Structure 1
Amino acid sequence: MASSEETALLQLEELFSATLARIDSLILQPLLLVEPEHLEPRSRECMRLLQRLHQCTQRLWEVTDQSLRSLRHRLQHPSCSLETLLLLSKADRVLEVHVEYIESYTNCIVATAFQSVIKRKSKYWQGQRKALGQILTCGLNPKSSVGAMLAQALHQPLTQHVQQYVILLLRLRDSLEEGHPSQKTVMRAISLFGDLQSFMRQALLQAEVTQSLWHNLSSHLRDALCTPTRRLLLDSQDVPVTVTPLCAERVLLFDDALVLFQGHRIHTFDLKLVWVDSGQDECECLIATPEDEFSLRARDPQDQVIWRWKMFMAVGQALRGKKDFPGLGSDLEPAVPPAHRRAAYTFRQEGRLCGASYDGEWHRGRPQGKGTLKWPDGRNHVGHFHHGLEHGFGILLLPGAAEDKFDCYKCHWREGRKHGYGMCEYSTGETYKGYFQDDLRHGFGVLERAPPAPQAFRYTGHWERGQRNGFGVQDDMDGGERYIGWWQTDQHHGPGILVTQAGICYQGTFQMDKMAGPGVLLFEDDSLHEGTFTRDLMLRGKGKVTLPDGFVLEGWFARGTGKGLYTQGVLDTSAFSPDPSSTSKRQLGVGAMPANGHWQGVFDPFWAFVREGCPEDLQEAFLGFHIQRAKELQSSQDNLCCQRSHPEDSRGAMRDILEDVLRHREPEALQPFLRKALCDSQHPLGKLLSKLMLTFQATYTGVGANKHLQDLAQDQVKQHARGLWAAYRGLLQVALKSKGQTLEEEDEKTRNLQVHSVMLPLLLPSCYGELFTLYLLLHKKEDTCYSQSLTKLGLLSDTKLLEFLDVQKYLWPLSDIKLTSNERYSFVREKCFLSATELLQKVLTTVDPWEKLQVLEKTYREIEATVMRVMGQEHRLTMDELLPLLIYVLVRARILNLGAELHLIRDMMDPSHLGGLYDFLLTTLESCYRQI
């Protein structure tokens, strides 16, 4: 059954709905009849505020009618639940509409919108005084202005209406039985509408205080500060406070800004970017803003508490974007505003950021976190900041000389400077991928201007303070030359090798880009020139020429007519050598340029990362971007996006890597783990390997694929393997340290064993193509002779070939061959030792010398097993028996370029195999090769 309180609520809503109808027709509609285009700017703003007030009144009227309908339905159907009443079921919605109305109304009060608009029709409104008085039920002053009556008529009915809500809801609560299902809902509505009463009182009081402030300020200050939505919260004239070191004459705290008066100057600070901290004593609080820091000092602790309380409240409201509800005057201590925020700001004071706009995250007055910084001259920086400076990964765009051209830096920063790994694209067409320090290229990096740009080049090497310094490789793509060697201040300086497109190699010492002292010149045909050379590689002065056939010409040399070489000296023919392989082994770089010092700059960032304890957040800065990340950054200049390529849940990736290192220490698990790590572009070892392969390819591909550099290349591969093994040990040391353990020292013998048996086989697949090409070029002549002999021997039948090789007939496995009636032994072809032949051909299917040696051993075992099957007894092959049999199998296997294969195996095999079975078998195969 419906209660008397519900009936009273129905009557209350009916009365308020009628009042709203009268307010709309008597006040709001006449106010809005003025044409806005006929008004001055300030009056047009007032009209906009009145239009907003009218919209809020309509929404309030609609909600009141909805409440009426719910009350009537309840009275007509008493069996319905009490919670069907709109005031109870949707109290939040009712509250929201009331708050919107109050905020719109107080905006009009602050802007004196009523007084401004009614001036144009003052006589009309003077005639409406009696009608306005009928809306007001109490507190009417006959001497009040029409504007004041209008204002009172627009808020007094609402104030009284909300007050009646609270009274009737309290009576409704008292009428409910203990434990009634709607009791909690009613209690919540009472609390909300009680808070609304408090909010309305505070809002009206703030509006009146703010309106009074604008009347007391000069027109200059009022025009600079007055906005309809701004409210005064505290004035230093009411609660005195002094400001140091700015020496402000007056301090005003608004709900959106802190304002300081200094003579005719006004300092306005957006509260979203104001941080408040306790001072050195209880009468002081410290204020931090993006460009200023000062303190507010009150006369006594009570005044300081008021300022601190109001500041916390105002800053919190500004950050949330709305006034506190339920009430601004709550006695509860406001929460301390967060130190970490997000906001936009334009810097005005002189300095590095003058005129720049920053939009992003802040911490205690300084940009910190992700953000975007834009300068008036077109510079843009998107990335991470720390203590107001670029710090962490970021992308910087700098306007280039040409229109619509930019220098784009995608790199890591430290304290406002480029520091760490980066990728840079310049408006000139050049690109740089490498390390920076203090805004300059420093460490390992690659600078390139790709064709078809003029003067195309590519430098891969070390930098120091923005200049090429240390070891590096540069390709002059226009001239077809490659320099491999040492640099100083952007010039060739120190030992170096110059390789031309024609296959000519020069090794010597350079000083400031010029050849200095004696050098060595090697030609494609293995001619060797020794002496002093001109820039165009012409022998000059005293020198020596060794021809491919071993003849030596020693004397004085000069440029002849045309392009020839004039000489006067002695020709020595005593060193004639008919063997072409005797002169093809001439190599450059190994003695004069030891490989162990070439690419230390590649390892330096890795070891710095290890010394720091392998922190996850610095992995990219030290080790560079992995492949997928680098691809994502290629298009980042267009959209200026610097989001991380890995998800947030990958933050523990480095910790997982170190755990894997510990789990796979045992010998049987170590090599599979390292193989996986080296193939992973996000793993520290994988990143290190990718840079090492970059240096290897830059040195030994294209023009650098020169046979005279083969020894230098294989020495470099071994050095890279040593470096990678040491890098793995570095990660293991960090992993053990995190568990409170230490890594045992490794002696030289153990280290060499692990490098050759574990790391080198894993490294070879990455560089095998370039390395084997050098072996092919170096042994091309002898492999050509071998191929020709192989072809001739391959024409012989099995029996003829066995006879030619003088294989003892008791070793012939002809009984294993099933002949048809039309076949004879003399025509048997490629069926003897077929299984051994197929095994030996597997040498070509692997790049690991150890696996190649195992193939060779299996071939030997298969030959011996075939012989024992033929003889029907145990038999160990002697060298005289094995050699011709192995030659036979080798001829039938038809392995081309065997010389290159044999030399690579010999150079890269584990030294521990020297003197053992594998060494013996390899020596036997080498003898077979020479015999063929």
Structure 2
Amino acid sequence: MCTPEERALLQLEEVFSATLARVNSLVLQPLLAAATEPSDAKDRECLQLLQQLHQSTQQLWETVEESLCSLRQRLHSPESVGLDALLLLRRPDHVLQAHKEYIEAYANCVVAQAFQKAAKKQSQYWRGRRKALRQLLSGGGAEGPVGTVLLQALRQPLTHHVQQYVLLLLRLQDTIQEDHPTRELVVRAAVVFGNLQSFAGQELDQAVATQALWPTLSTRPRDVLYSPARRLLLDSLDVPVSVTPLRAERVLLLEDALALVQGSSVHTFDLKLVWLDPGPDRRELHLLTPEEEFSFRAKDPQGQVVWQWKLTQAVCQALRGKKDFPVLGAGVDPSEAPACRCTAYTFCAEGRLFQATYEGEWCRAKPHGKGTLRWPDGRNHVGDFYQGLEHGFGIRLVPQACEDKFDCFKCHWKEGSMCGYGICEYGTDEVYKGYFREGLRHGFGVLESTPQAPQPCKYTGHWERGQKSGHGIEEDSSRGERYIGMWQADQRHGPGIMVTQAGVCYQGTFQADKIVGPGTLLSEDDSLYEGTFSRDLTLLGKGKVTFPNGFTLEGSFGGGSGKGLHTQGVLDTAALPPHPSSTSKRQLGLGAFPVESRWQGVYSPFRDFVRAGCPGELREALLGFHTQSSRELRKSQEYLCCDRSCPEDGAGSMEAVLEELLQPREPAALRQSLKKALSSSLHPLGKLLRTVMLTFQAAYAGFGANKHLQQLAQEEVRQHARDLWAAYRSLLQVALQRKGQTLEDEDAETRDLQVYSLMLPLVLPSFYSELFTLYLLLHEREDNLYGQGITNLSLFPDTKLLEFLDVQKHLWPLKDLTLTTNQRRSLVQDECFLSATECLQKIMMTVDPQEKLEVLERTHAEIQATVSRVLGREQQLPMDDLLPLLIFVVSRARIQHLGAEIHLIRDMMDPMHVGGRYDFLLTALESCFEHIQTDDMRLPPLPSHVDGGDLR
């Protein structure tokens, strides 16, 4: 059974539907007809507003008809159709939205005086329609100006209807039991339409106040501020307030802006970019905007409270982007507007940001967080900001004069300038990867041009205030030259080494990019010149040439008018020929630039990171991008503005890295942990290793692979091992300090032990390719002689070779030789000491000097085991017996470049092994290597066919 309240609702909807139909025919249609031929902009605005009102009226009428339909179904079938089927209860928000759109469209017409303007065109018509308009108004009210009557005719039916909604819904609520499920729907609908009643009252009152505002303003302020959708919230004429230091005769708080009016000028502030700071003085309200700061002071405390509350609510409403419902301040009602926001603003004041548009996050009137800054000239910056300045990671694009060319800076920034690690791709096709300070290249960095550049060039080294300064390497591919040495103010200055593609290697002093004073020049055939030079390394002036055969030529050198070199001096042929190894091992660079300070620019950012306590936010700026990020840097600018670092709770976070260091480590476990760290591009130690690898390759790869630089490279690798061990210790110290513990001091002996036994074997593989190439070049002659000896010795069968090497016959493992009836013992090969031979061959399968020495030790053990088996007792071989047997094993192992292997082991082995067992075995191997190079080994007598019986 339907209640009287439901019938009353049905009747209310029927009356309102009919009223809307009459409003459309009596008011809106004639108004639209009068405004159909706009003559100016104001008329066009009037027509547009009336059309919007007509559309919203149609939508409201359709919603009312839909509500009527649900009420009629309920009235005719109360048993089958429940209360929850009523549109007012089922979808109150839908009904609410239709009413709100009508109210806002009507309020816009009020602000623009659209009714009055349209009525003036048919004033005679409206005077005759007063009786019809009176039907729309309850209690009369059809007197007065036509415009006022029209306002009332469109407003009163709506406000009366909403009021009746609230009353009837409240009465319906009282008829439903407390626990009935429909009661909640009725209560919700009553609240919705109660809020709508408040919203309508505030919206219509604000519209009237705003309409009254415009005539009080002079032309220019009105033109700047006027908009039909804009509402006045507070006027200093109503609640007086003074503004300092800006001047303002009148202050207007609008829904979306704060306006300061002074005469015919007006200064507006977007409320989304207004921050309120009450400050210590409650009588004064401090306001912050992107380019202005000023204060409000009301005449009395009550006025101060009104201005502060209204401003706060208006700012919050502007940030939400919609009107508060049901009244201003009824939305999320914070005690103050949020300090952090996200919006766009174009700067107008002269300065660095003049005419630039910033879009992104703000805090207290300053760009703060992630955002984008664009200038009219095409520059733009995407990245992190802090208190108004670029700070953190960011990308800056700077257009070049030529079309479609940009300089792209993918860097870390500090207080508006590039500072920290970055990758810069220039419009000139050059790329810089390295460190900046105050916007200039500073610290370690690599500048490289593309191979297609007219003069391809690459510099790897240190910079100071934008210029090459300190130790650095420059490769000039067009000239086929590589310079390794000191720089100052973008010029080669100080000790340096020049290596040419032809194999010539020069060491001397440079000043202002020119060679000065005497120097040393080594050619590929090991000829040595000591004296003065021309710019292109031509012998010029006094000097001395020492030839590979020991002859010397001392005198004055110079170029004649024709080709060739002219000299006047003394040729000395009396000197004995030097040993080939002495001439090939002449080394350059030793002592010219101390290895301890050569690449400190690489380690300095790491030390700064450690001194700061290893904060995660500085990890990328001080240690560089990891491999994956660098790839993304080249692929997507949008990705760059995201958080590229590992999450702080992830396995790659600094917290996890430091926690890993604190795990108790046995030597084997510590070695494995360090190996994992050095192989990771995310770990600080791994980043360091990859950077020093770049420096090593820049110096010693390509045509920089010159044998006269071998010792320079070798001492550099050892120094990197020492520095990386120190880096590990410094990280461990930070980890312990966070736990309130301290790291015990490490004496020099313990440090060297850890460096050579632990760190050097782990870092050596990263440099091995370039380093071993230098050893190959340096010991090429020795290895060639050794190779000839191995080739000749391979012609011998095992027994004949043992006899040739004077190995005592009772040590021969003849039982290892399996003969068929058609074989003679003298023809059987590769059987004797096979286990030792196979063991020694493993020396080429590792780069670790310690492991190579262990292979050598196992080889010695296999020889001893074979001899003991032959003799039937344990036997320790004396050197006289061991050496020929070891030569036999070495010759059968056929290890390539054994000289380079031996010298690398000798240079890189742990100093604690000097004088010990490993040193003894390595010395024995060296003796074998040298013995195989001798003439009697390289040119042995042809093996004779000896009958098997001859060997018994």
Q: TM-score, normalised by structure 2?
A: 0.95
CA contact (8 A) 2:396 2:409 kept: yes
Partner of 1:644: 643
Partner of 1:600: 600
Establish whether residue 327 from structure 1 lines up as the match of residue 349 from structure 2: no
Deviation at 1:561, TM superposition (A): 5.5
Q: Deviations over 1:823-878 (max 9, x none)?
A: 22111111111121111111111111111111111111111111111121111111
Which residue type is aligned with residue 889 of structure 1?
V
Partner of 1:469: 469
Q: Deviations over 1:186-218 (max 9, x none)?
A: 222222211111111111100000000012222
Deviation at 1:39, TM superposition (A): 3.5
CA contact (8 A) 2:552 2:572 kept: yes
CA distance in 2, matches of 1:807, 1:210: 117
CA distance in 2, matches of 1:43, 1:138: 33
Which residue type is aligned with residue 893 of structure 1?
A
Which residue type is aligned with residue 607 of structure 1?
R
Which residue type is aligned with residue 274 of structure 1?
V
Partner of 1:122: 123
Deviation at 1:84, TM superposition (A): 2.2
Deviation at 1:78, TM superposition (A): 2.5
Q: Which moved more, 1:443-452 or 1:227-236?
A: 443-452
CA distance in 2, matches of 1:681, 1:433: 16
Alignment of 1:155-166 (within 5 A): 155-166=155-166
CA distance in 1, matches of 2:331, 2:582: 100
Deviation at 1:333, TM superposition (A): 6.5
CA distance in 2, matches of 1:647, 1:498: 42
CA contact (8 A) 2:420 2:437 kept: yes
CA distance in 2, matches of 1:52, 1:166: 27
CA distance in 2, matches of 1:558, 1:756: 49
User: What secondary structure does 2:442 align onto?
Assistant: strand
Establish whether residue 493 from structure 1 lines up as the match of residue 493 from structure 2: yes
CA distance in 1, matches of 2:925, 2:812: 20
Partner of 2:204: 204
Partner of 2:939: none
Deviation at 1:646, TM superposition (A): 4.5
Q: Deviations over 1:422-449 (max 9, x none)?
A: 1111112221111111111100011112
Partner of 2:938: none
Aligned residues: 930
User: What secondary structure does 1:410 align onto?
Assistant: strand
Partner of 1:581: 581
CA distance in 2, matches of 1:761, 1:923: 21
Q: Which runs of 5+ in 2 are unaligned?
A: 933-952
Alignment of 1:772-921 (within 5 A): 772-921=772-921
Deviation at 1:650, TM superposition (A): 5.8
Establish whether residue 136 from structure 1 lines up as the match of residue 121 from structure 2: no
CA contact (8 A) 1:450 1:458 kept: no
CA distance in 2, matches of 1:648, 1:27: 64
CA contact (8 A) 2:543 2:555 kept: yes
Alignment of 1:544-693 (within 5 A): 544-560=544-560, 562-577=562-577, 579-636=579-636, 642-646=641-645, 653-663=653-663, 665-693=665-693
Structure 2 vs 1, CA of residues 266 and 492 (structure 1 numbering), >3 Å: closer, same or farther? same
Partner of 1:439: 439
CA distance in 2, matches of 1:447, 1:536: 24
Partner of 1:423: 423
Establish whether residue 314 from structure 1 lines up as the match of residue 314 from structure 2: yes
Q: Which runs of 5+ in 1 are unaligned?
A: none
Q: Percent identical across equivalent pairs?
A: 64
CA distance in 2, matches of 1:251, 1:111: 21
Partner of 1:170: 170
Q: Deviations over 1:537-588 (max 9, x none)?
A: 2333332211111222233333345343333333333432263112100000
Partner of 2:405: 405
Q: Deviations over 1:393-431 (max 9, x none)?
A: 111111212122111111011111111111111112221
Which residue type is aligned with residue 770 of structure 2?
E
CA distance in 2, matches of 1:229, 1:213: 14
Deviation at 1:696, TM superposition (A): 0.3
CA distance in 1, matches of 2:334, 2:482: 70
Deviation at 1:283, TM superposition (A): 1.2
Q: Which moved more, 1:118-127 or 1:908-917?
A: 118-127
Establish whether residue 450 from structure 1 lines up as the match of residue 450 from structure 2: yes
Which residue type is aligned with residue 642 of structure 1?
C
Which residue type is aligned with residue 788 of structure 2?
Q
Q: Deviations over 1:745-779 (max 9, x none)?
A: 11111111111111111111111100000000001
Deviation at 1:664, TM superposition (A): 5.5
Structure 2 vs 1, CA of residues 774 and 36 (structure 1 numbering), >3 Å: closer, same or farther? farther
CA distance in 2, matches of 1:554, 1:477: 33
Which residue type is aligned with residue 504 of structure 1?
V
Q: Deviations over 1:37-79 (max 9, x none)?
A: 6442222122222222222222212221222222222223333
CA contact (8 A) 1:609 1:615 kept: yes
User: What secondary structure does 2:57 align onto?
Assistant: helix
Which residue type is aligned with residue 416 of structure 1?
G
> Aligned Cα RMSD in Å?
1.8
Deviation at 1:806, TM superposition (A): 1.1
Deviation at 1:93, TM superposition (A): 2.1
Deviation at 1:91, TM superposition (A): 1.7
CA distance in 1, matches of 2:232, 2:283: 22
CA distance in 2, matches of 1:243, 1:487: 59
Deviation at 1:332, TM superposition (A): 10
CA contact (8 A) 2:234 2:252 kept: yes
Partner of 1:757: 757
Establish whether residue 110 from structure 1 lines up as the match of residue 111 from structure 2: yes
Deviation at 1:185, TM superposition (A): 2.4
User: What secondary structure does 2:575 align onto?
Assistant: coil
Establish whether residue 83 from structure 1 lines up as the match of residue 67 from structure 2: no
CA contact (8 A) 1:776 1:897 kept: yes
Alignment of 1:34-113 (within 5 A): 38-79=38-79, 80-113=81-114
Q: Deviations over 1:369-396 (max 9, x none)?
A: 1111111111111111111111111111
User: What secondary structure does 2:266 align onto?
Assistant: strand
User: What secondary structure does 1:537 align onto?
Assistant: coil
User: What secondary structure does 2:421 align onto?
Assistant: strand
Establish whether residue 392 from structure 1 lines up as the match of residue 392 from structure 2: yes
CA distance in 2, matches of 1:379, 1:608: 32
CA contact (8 A) 1:394 1:642 kept: yes
CA distance in 2, matches of 1:48, 1:78: 44
Partner of 2:950: none
Partner of 1:694: 694
Structure 2 vs 1, CA of residues 22 and 607 (structure 1 numbering), >3 Å: closer, same or farther? same
Which residue type is aligned with residue 59 of structure 2?
R
CA contact (8 A) 1:196 1:327 kept: no
User: What secondary structure does 2:122 align onto?
Assistant: helix
Structure 2 vs 1, CA of residues 331 and 727 (structure 1 numbering), >3 Å: closer, same or farther? closer
CA contact (8 A) 2:435 2:442 kept: yes
Deviation at 1:30, TM superposition (A): 3.1
Structure 2 vs 1, CA of residues 370 and 37 (structure 1 numbering), >3 Å: closer, same or farther? farther
CA contact (8 A) 2:468 2:487 kept: yes
User: What secondary structure does 1:482 align onto?
Assistant: strand
Deviation at 1:98, TM superposition (A): 1.5
CA contact (8 A) 1:606 1:623 kept: yes
CA distance in 1, matches of 2:93, 2:34: 35
